[in-house]
Amino acid sequence: MTRTWTPGSHDEAVTAIARTPVLLVALDFDGTASPLVADPMSARALPEIADAVARLAVLPDTEVAYVSGRSLVHLREIAEHSDDSPVILAGSHGAQYWFPGEGEADAAESAQERDLRESLFDELEPLLTEYPGVELERKTFGVGIHGRPADPAVERAAFAAVDEVMARRAARWRRRTGDRILEFSSRHEGKDAAITALRARTGATGILFAGDDVTDEDALRVLTEHDLGVRVGPGETAATLRVGSPQQIGELLGVIATERAAGRE
């Protein structure tokens, strides 16, 4: 059963994850590390979260990752991620990775998939000009349609129009919905696959994963009793803890960084 965490409170699950021998802190970006914003590319991690991530990333036996539906190139931009960053990135819902000291892992795409994606973008771009405020995002393995700046009725009509195109031309692509976003991808990986891959890669004995949206529930559902799932905001969830905002995620990560550092002195 999910319980609410409030700043200043003591929670045994938080203490346990802070003390796990090898910790992976994995964070969704939009709505978790960053507040949701109308312009997707203006998203940035809150200063308190960036600070906590930096504190955690330098601790022994501690890894930090951003796990996002964003294409890797866009995730690197909004995360202000440099080539010497210690932070792991999993983009495109786990179809793309960037590892410290190695860089981007190859993510294969067939010529047929690439040609279809470009053709779909060419069809959807003029179509969506008929829906004010709805924006089309070119993704590495698909397309994203953002409705947050639009009137909700316009958003619904735009999503229906896109659904018709995709059903006709790319029926096998994976469809995802989120907070006023509709996505289609030729790849079928989800954030559950990303968490599994990162657990194997890092040897984590405990994972803290935090997210705010439907696609984050894929990751939350594969966590074990040794992990800690955190849901940001309302909605049905498999998480153990719930916080009210990205700001509270920053406070929670600060607590974990402090407890983990103290346990290694």
Output the pTM of the full model: 0.86
- Residue 110 confidence (pLDDT): 80
pLDDT of res. 264: 66
Residue spans of the chain under pLDDT 70:
106, 264-265
Give DSSP secondary structure letters for the chain: --EE--TT---HHHHHHHH-SSEEEEE-TBTTTB---SSGGG----HHHHHHHHHHHTSTTEEEEEE-SS-HHHHHHHTT--TT---EEEEGGGTEEEETTTEEPP----HHHHHHHHHHHHHHHHHHTTSTT-EEEEETTEEEEE-TTS-HHHHHHHHHHHHHHHHHH-TTSEEEEETTEEEEES----HHHHHHHHHHHHT-SEEEEEE-STTHHHHHHT--TTSEEEEESSS----SEEESSHHHHHHHHHHHHHHHHHHT-
Domains of the chain by start residue, with CATH: 3-107+189-263 (3.40.50.1000), 111-185 (3.30.70.1020)
The confidence score (pLDDT) of residue 91 equals: 96
